[in-house]
A and B are shown apart, each in its own frame.
Chain A
Amino acid sequence: MTEEIIIAGFGGQGVLSMGKILAYSGIMQDQEVSWMPSYGPEMRGGTANVTVILSDDRINSPILNEFDTAIVLNQQSMDKFESMVKPGGLLLYDPNGISHHPKRKDITIATIEAVKEATLINRKTFNMVVMGAFLKVHPIVKMDNIHRGLKKSLPERHHHLIPLNEEAIKKGMAKVQIIHKV
């Protein structure tokens, strides 16, 4: 199994750390992983994206131009990545702030009101709500591996926040909506 994912949004939304938790969770289930960020001054405030690959085999290119899944968290990213989802793939997005919704019919499209849901828990768990939504549609990592992944990727002083993060993941799983399925 190989899952090639792009996560794209604004800097500060937790795009990179969500990718890191996914990658660590992959390691916990003995998979090969890669995490390739866009880097540079645009990281703060501007757009940020990260390509995450989880695979049972050796990962070839960490840089891709088509993806099994695109997780899109702002309009710029929607404009850029909608066309890069492989036919039959998944596009997951938060409709908050999206004015031009995706039009493709050959991919699965799902939404998660992550801003809204996260506000009810803790705004900083936004990215975990999104991750929960993704894992509901594509259950590529097991919940206990996510738990271990969270433990590995968060510094120890933040370990007390793990239950909060897991609550957010479950919230995302519960609230994700499939708009279009192929």
Chain B
Amino acid sequence: MEDVKLMKGNEAMAEAAIRAGADAYFGYPITPQSEVIEYLMMEKPENRTGMQVLQAESEVAAINMVYGAAACGKRVMTSSSSPGISLKLEGISYMAGSELPCLIANVMRGGPGLGTIQPGQADYFQAVKGGGHGDYRLIVLAPSTVQEMADFVDLGFELAFKYRNPVMILSDGAIGQMMEKVFLPDQKERLTDKEVINKYGSWATTGKPESRERNIITSLNLKSEVQENHNFHLQKKYKSIEENEIRYEAIQCDDAEYIMVAFGTSARICQKVIQLGRDKGLKLGLLRPITLWPFPKQIINKLADTSKGFLSVEMNAGQMIEDVQLAVNGKAPVSHYGRMGGMIPSPSDVLVAVEKELKKIG
């Protein structure tokens, strides 16, 4: 039982990074995720695994430190909250273009602008539709428990290296700040440069030996033909991710007459709504996307054959609903319920919204 701990989501993520054999973390403080770097600084991972931790001068510098270290084939992580992620987007686009693996956590707060430090989910578009410039995709994982905050770190690194692509953990202030029971994974060894080459190929810039051509990490191709071909290559990769990496959880959907779609904190609230609804005889279910990109389109489309309708529950003005609508493709009505600016919907608020929608459908 020694590795069961009561931890904040932010702390669990930091501890999981050490245990995932991360080589480095570069970050900049911002509420509500400063516990990540605070925990790492307190923990001195250099003594435990050799992992490097550095507080950068800005989010911009932090993501570019991630770029430099990731381009050496290392497991590198950064974390921030909404305004800080906006600053990191330039670097994220560069990393996607240069095909660099890395893990970025966004512990979202309410926006826009400086917004609020309370939880939000209004960075959905930013995370799954690009955010930065150019045609690129991030693999986006949405934890809804502290356990998943820990588990998705190693999963994120594995996916990042498998596809040579940045991965984002899209969380929020509620999951970052709350404590739950968490089973911590075993310590993974950090990989040597040689092991990285054996496992993932020789693309990293670690110094050019006589035996190979120089390695270059760049997102620049001044020739448009070359740049277009690079884009075709990226799109092919994204397609393969869509085919292989969709993750979701269907909760009580089998007999559900009405289905809520929600991720992260909203998904937790909706699980309570199912209970409250079923107590009243309403057969409710929840489809919880775990990967927001790639989005679980097929299952939602399939559920649309049996469900009377869908309610996209989000802590924003209605962002994921667009993907739900595309997935449902007109088979059933899709509505949105959300709170904004750091307000968290209560289970009974959501139930009222569900009942209203059911009344409309008849």
Contacts from A to B (Cβ < 8 Å): 20, 23-24, 27, 32-37, 39-41, 59-66, 152-153
Inter-chain contact B180/A33, CB cutoff 8 Å: yes
Closest approach, in angstroms, between the C-beta of A167 and any C-beta of chain B?
A: 24
A-B pairs with lowest CB-CB distance, top 10: A60-B271, A61-B272, A65-B346, A35-B179, A36-B178, A60-B272, A61-B269, A39-B177, A61-B268, A34-B180
How long is the Cα–Cα vector from A64 to B344 in the complex, in angstroms?
Answer: 10
B326 contacts A by Cβ under 8 Å: no
Q: In the assembled complex, which residues on chain B have CB atoms less than 8 Å from the CB atom of A40?
A: 31-32, 117-118
Known A64-B346, A65-B346, A66-B348; judge A39-B271 contact (CB<8 A): no
A65 B179 Cβ-Cβ under 8 A: no
| B181 and A60 within 8 A (CB) | no
With a cutoff of 8 Å between Cβ atoms, the chain B residues found around residue A37 in the complex are 177-178
Q: In the assembly, what is the distance between CA of A35 and CA of B180, in Å? A: 6
Task: Tell me the minimal C-beta distance from A159 to chain B in angstroms.
Answer: 17
- Tell me, in angstroms, the Cα distance from A34 to B271 when the chains sit together: 15
**How many of chain B's residues touch chain A, expressed as a range?**
20 to 34
Q: Is B197 an interface residue (CB 8 A)?
A: no
Q: Which residues of A contact B177 (CB under 8 A)?
A: 36-37, 39
- B312-352 interface bits toward A, Cβ cutoff 8 Å, 1 = contact, 0 = none: 00000000000000000000000000000000101111000
Contact A153-B347, Cβ < 8 Å, known A35-B179, A61-B271? no
Q: How far is the CA of A107 from the CA of B32 in the complex (A)?
A: 36
Contact residues in B for A27 (Cβ distance below 8 Å): 4, 6, 181
Q: A63 contacts B174, CB within 8 Å?
A: yes
Distance of A32 Cα from B344 Cα, bound (Å): 22
Q: How far is the CB of B47 from chain A (nearest CB, A)?
A: 18
Complex CA gap A64/B348 in Å reads 9
Q: Is B166 an interface residue (CB 8 A)?
A: no
Whether B4 pairs with A34 at a CB distance below 8 angstroms is no
Query: B347 near A152 (CB under 8 angstroms)?
Result: no
Between-chain CB contacts (< 8 Å), 7 pairs = A32-B180, A33-B181, A36-B178, A37-B178, A62-B174, A62-B265, A63-B344
Interface centre among A37, A63, A153 (most CB of B within 10 A): A63
> A24–B7 Cα gap in the complex (Å)?
10
B275 adjacent to chain A (CB < 8 Å): yes
**Is the beta-carbon distance between B32 and A39 smaller than 8 angstroms?**
yes
Cα–Cα, bound, A15→B118 (Å): 19
Interchain CB contact under 8 A, A23 and B174: no
Contact A60 B275 (CB under 8 A): yes
Q: Is B173 an interface residue (CB 8 A)?
A: yes
Query: Min CB distance, B175 to chain A, in Å?
Result: 8
Chain B interface (Cβ < 8 Å from any Cβ of A): 4, 6, 31-32, 117-118, 173-174, 177-181, 265, 268-275, 344, 346-349
How close is A39's CB to chain B, nearest CB, in angstroms? 5
In angstroms, Cα B265 to Cα A39, docked, is: 16
A70: min CB distance to chain B, Å: 15
B117, B272, B348: residue with the most chain A Cβ atoms closer than 10 Å? B272
* Residues of the A chain whose Cβ atoms lie less than 8 Å from the Cβ of B349: 65
Residues of B within 8 A of A24 (CB): 6
Contact A34 B272 (CB under 8 A): no
Given A27-B4, A41-B117, A61-B272, 19 extra CB contacts under 8 A:
A23-B6, A23-B179, A32-B180, A33-B6, A34-B178, A34-B179, A35-B180, A36-B179, A39-B173, A39-B177, A40-B118, A59-B180, A60-B274, A61-B269, A61-B273, A62-B265, A63-B174, A63-B265, A65-B347
In contact, B181 and A63 (Cβ under 8 angstroms): no
Q: Is the CB of A20 within 8 A of B271?
A: no
Distance, CA A64 to CA B265, complexed state (A): 12
Write the nearest CB–CB distance from A27 to chain B, whole angstroms: 5
- The answer to whether A153 and B6 touch across the interface, beta carbons within 8 angstroms, is yes
Most central of A20, A39, A41, A152 by chain B CB within 10 Å: A39
The docked-state distance in angstroms from the alpha carbon of A35 to that of B349 is 21
Q: Smallest CB–CB gap between A142 and chain B, Å?
A: 16
Residues of B within 8 A of A39 (CB): 31-32, 117, 173, 177
A36 CB to nearest chain B CB (Å): 4
Q: How far is the CB of B54 from chain A (nearest CB, A)?
A: 26
Closest to B118 in A: A40
- Which of B4, B179, B346 contacts A20, CB < 8 Å? B179
Of all chain A residues, the one with the shortest Cβ separation from B116 is A40
